[in-house]
Chains A and B, each alone.
Chain A
C-alpha cells in the first residue's frame, strides 16, 4: 500500500516537473507538494454555478476550477490553450476555426467533443450568457467537421484578439448531454456543476460552503496538486478578516474584505496583499450624468463637475492608495488599447466655477447654482463614500447634491429602468477589451432597463460609428486607432466620467504557492496551485 503510493507520487512529480516548465514561478528549492485543502472566502452566494449562463467573478471564483473555458490568459496576458489547442481566422474575419483538445472527458466519464462547443455557443452563450449574447450576436453557425474541430461562422467580421480575450471569460463549456433538451435555467447541473476541470464538484451546503475535490482523470497529467477546495460563505466583512487571521480561510479575492482590513493585513507577515494576478480586470468609480437634465446636457457643466472633484485626494484618503485617477475609459493596464496621456480636466475648482458661470448658472443668494439628485449603486463600500465626496466637492462650486440611498436592486432599477436620477455613481468593470462591457456605456440604442449601459439620454453619431467600426475591425493596428479616436471623443464630450482606475485586491496566505501567476488568477483553474 505504502509502496504503491510512493511509486505513484514519484511518477506524479516527474510528470509535474515536465508539465510545469512554462510556469517557472516557484523557487528552485521548493518542490510542489501534493495534497492539502484550500479554504477560500466568498462573501455572497450565487443563484447558479454555471459560467456558461452567468458571467460574473462570483461564479468564476468557484466554477472555473470545475468547468473549463476554451482559452485562458497566460502569465503574459496572451490567450493560452485550454480546451481549444489552436485557432485561426480567415482574412475576412468571419470564420474562426478552433482545434479542440483530444482525450478530455467530462467528470461523468463521457468524452468532450466539438458537439459540446457547438451547443454551448449557440444555445447558451448566444441566448443566455450576459455579455455573451452581445459577443455572439452575429454568430450564425458552428460547424463540426470532426469531433475535435469547431468552426464558428459569423455574419459580420469579428477580430480574433477580441474573441479570444472575451472567451477567457465567456467561453466556458458545460456538457451538452446534460443540458440538451432540458430547461437550461432550471437544470440541476446549474447547482451541481459538471465540467472537465482539475476539480470535481462534491457538495454545496447553502449558506455554508461548497466543496470540490481533485479530479484524478484530469487531462493535465499529474495535476492538480490540491486534494480539495472549500469555498466558505462569510457575509460579514469583519468576520471574514477574522477567519483569515485564525487560519480558517487562506484566500479572499476580488475586494471582498473591507478596505481598512485590507490595509491592516498588509503589515501582517502571514499574508500577501496585492493586486498581482488581477491585471486582466480593472474597474472604475463612475460619475454618470442624466443628459435629460438641461444643466447636465451642457458639456461645460459636466467638465466643471470633473474639475471640481479631487480624485487624488479621494484615492489617498478613502481607497488607501489602491487606485489612481483614470485618463479615459480604457484603463492603463490594458496595454493593447491604452493610449497614455492625461485626463483633460484636472482638479481645479476655480476653473469649475468659471465654467459654471460661463454656462449661465450663477450662484444664487445662498451660494447655490442648482441642485442634483445622486443615486449611488452600492457595489462596494467605497461607492457611498465617493457619493459623499462628490456631494461635498460639488457644494464647494455651488451645486447642491442630494444623495438618494437605495440598495443595489433599487438603485439599478431607479437609474437604468426609470431614469429617475441626475447623477449616479458606481463601478464600471473593464473586461480586457473595450468591446466586451465598456463601449455599451457609450453606444446609443441600448433598450431601456439594461443596467450599466447608455441610459443617459446622450447620443453621438460619431461615437456610435467608432464603436461599431472598432468592434468589427480585423486589423489590430487600425482597431487600436479607432479606439484612440473614440477615447479622444468621449474625453472631450464627457457623456459620463470614469473618475478612478483600480485593480482588484487579493489577500492570500503565504502558505499558498504558485498563486496569482496569471492575470485573471482568482477566476482561473488553479491546477498548479499547492500548499
Chain B
C-alpha cells in the first residue's frame, strides 16, 4: 500500500510539468511557419484555393490558435488524444501501433548497454591501468565519440550489404509468413543492428562510470574491513563493491530514458523501424500537431514511469534510502 501511495504522489507532482510541456510544444509549433495543410500541399504538388480552404476546414485549422489549444486540453482531460492528420485515425490508436517497437528497441538497448557497461567496467576496474583496462577504455571512448547514425549506416554496409548476414532494415520480413517462434527469431534478427547502434554510445558511458565508481568504492573503509576479515576477492566485488557502485549507474539510467527516446528517432529512421521516434519526426515535418502532442504526452509518461522504477530500484539497492524515502 505505501508503494501505491508513493506512485500516486509521484504522478500527481508530474501533472504540472506535463501540462507545461504540452502547452510549450503547442506554442512552439505555432511559431513554425506553415501548417499541416501546407505540408500536405507539398506532398500533393499543389492545389487551388478552393481545395486548400476545404482542407483547412477539414483539419479544424479555421479556428484561432487559442481556441484550438483550448479544444485540445479539453479533449485531453477526457483522455482523448484527438485525430491524427497524417494517418486519419485516432492518435491513441496510431501510438499504440508504434509503441511496442520503440519499447522493444529501448529495452533491448538499455539492457545491452547496462549489462555490457557493468561487466566491462568491472573488468577494467579490477585490472586498472593494465592492458585490459587500456583496451576497454579506448574502445569505449571510440564508441562514445562516434555518431550513432554513422555507426548504424556502417553496420548496415558491412553486415547487410557486404556480408549479407543481417537484414538492412525493417521490423520483420514482409510476406514471409513467419509465425510463433520463427517470427520472434525474424524480429530479433532485424533488431540486432538497431539495438547495437543505439546501445553502444550508452554502453561506453556506463562502462566509464562503472569503472570510476568501482575504483572509488573499492577504496572505502567497509571494503578494506571486509578484506581484512579475509573475505575472498570475488565475494568482495559482488557483495560489497558492485552493489554500491551501481547507485550512480541507476541514476544515469533514469536520466537517459529521455535521451534514448531521442536517439531512437535517428535509429528508427535509419533502420526503417515503425516506432514512435520516426512517427515524431514525421509529425513535425507534416505539422501534425495532435500526433506530436500525443507522442510528447506518452513520452513524458514513459520517462516518469522509468524514473519511478529507478527510485524503487534505489531503495532495493540501498536500504538507507528505503528508510528515508518513505
**Cβ contact within 8 Å between A130 and B153:** no
Interfacial chain A residues near B40, Cβ < 8 Å: 47
Q: Give the residue of A207, A232, A406, A447 whose beta carbon is less than 8 angstroms from that of B49.
A: A447
- Give the Cβ gap from A459 to chain B, nearest Cβ, in Å: 18
Q: Which residues of B contact A130 (CB under 8 A)?
A: 41, 44-48, 51
Q: Is the CB of A211 within 8 A of B175?
A: yes
**Which chain B residues border A242 with CB–CB below 8 Å?**
153, 156-157, 160-161, 168-169
Interface flag for A85 (CB, 8 Å): no
> Which residues of the other chain, A, contact B94 by a CB distance below 8 angstroms?
206
CA distance A234 to B227 in the complex (A): 57
A394 beta carbon closer than 8 Å to chain B:
no
Q: Does B6 contact A (CB under 8 A)?
A: no
B35 at the interface (CB under 8 A from A): yes
| B98 and A44 contacting across the interface, CB-CB below 8 Å | no
Let me know if A46 and B43 touch, CB within 8 A. Answer: yes
The reply on A205 being an interface residue by CB < 8 A is yes
User: Is A531 part of the binding interface, using a Cβ–Cβ cutoff of 8 Å?
Assistant: no
Question: Given A206-B97, A242-B156, A246-B161, are A409 and B170 neighbors across the interface (CB < 8 Å)?
Answer: no
Chain B positions within 8 Å of A230 at CB level: 174-175
Q: Are A409 and B278 in contact (CB under 8 A)?
A: no
Task: Indicate if A450 sits at the interface (CB-CB under 8 A).
Answer: yes
A227 to B, closest residue via Cβ: B175
Distance in Å: Cβ of A57 to nearest Cβ of chain B: 8
Q: Roughly how many angstroms separate A248 CA and B161 CA in the complex, as a whole number?
A: 10
Does A248 lie within 8 Å of B170, measured CB to CB? yes
Per-residue CB contact flags for chain B residues 178-218 toward chain A (1 = under 8 Å, else 0) read 00000000000000000000000000000000000000000
**Distance to closest chain B CB from A236 (angstroms):** 5
Instruction: Judge whether A89 is part of the interface by a CB distance below 8 angstroms.
Output: no
In the bound complex, CA of A481 to CA of B36 (Å): 41
Whether, in the assembled complex, A454 has its beta carbon less than 8 Å from a beta carbon of chain B, the answer is no
Tell me, in angstroms, the Cα distance from A87 to B97 when the chains sit together.
47
Most buried by B among A129, A238, A377: A238
Q: Determine if A243 and B282 form an interchain contact, defined as CB atoms under 8 angstroms apart.
A: no
CA distance A450 to B86 in the complex (A): 21
| Chain B residues closer than 8 Å to A211, beta-carbon distance | 174-175
By beta carbon, the residue of chain B nearest A437 is B46
Report whether B46 and A131 are in contact in the complex, using a CB–CB cutoff of 8 Å: yes
User: Which A411-461 residues have a C-beta within 8 angstroms of B?
Assistant: 411-414, 417-418, 429, 437, 446-447, 449-453
Query: How many angstroms between the C-alpha atoms of A190 and B50 in the bound complex?
Result: 20
Smallest beta-carbon distance A313→chain B, Å: 28
Chain B residues within an 8 Å CB radius of A82: none
B contact residues, total (Cβ < 8 Å): 56
Q: Which residue of B is nearest A191, CB measured?
A: B88
Q: Is A39 an interface residue (CB 8 A)?
A: yes
Contact of A414 among B33, B58, B285 (CB under 8 A): B33
Q: Does A76 contact B (CB under 8 A)?
A: no
Q: Which of B63-71, B264-272, B304-312 lies at the binding interface?
A: B264-272
**Contact with B282, one of A45, A406, A437, A446 (Cβ below 8 angstroms):** A45
Best-buried of B36, B41, B42, B52 by chain A (most CB within 10 Å):
B42
B49 contacts A449, C-beta separation under 8 Å = yes
Cβ-based interface call for B171 (8 A): yes
B122 within 8 Å of A (CB atoms): no
Interface pair A449/B52, CB less than 8 Å apart: yes
Q: List 15 A-B contacts (CB under 8 A).
A: A58-B43, A130-B46, A133-B48, A191-B88, A206-B274, A211-B175, A232-B272, A239-B168, A242-B156, A243-B272, A409-B39, A411-B34, A417-B38, A450-B48, A450-B49
B-contacting residues of A (Cβ < 8 Å)? 37, 39, 44-48, 54-58, 127-131, 133-134, 185-186, 190-191, 205-209, 211, 228, 230, 232-236, 238-239, 242-243, 245-246, 248, 377, 379, 406-414, 417-418, 429, 437, 446-447, 449-453
Top 5 closest pairs, chain A to chain B, by CB: A409-B34, A130-B47, A207-B274, A409-B39, A410-B33
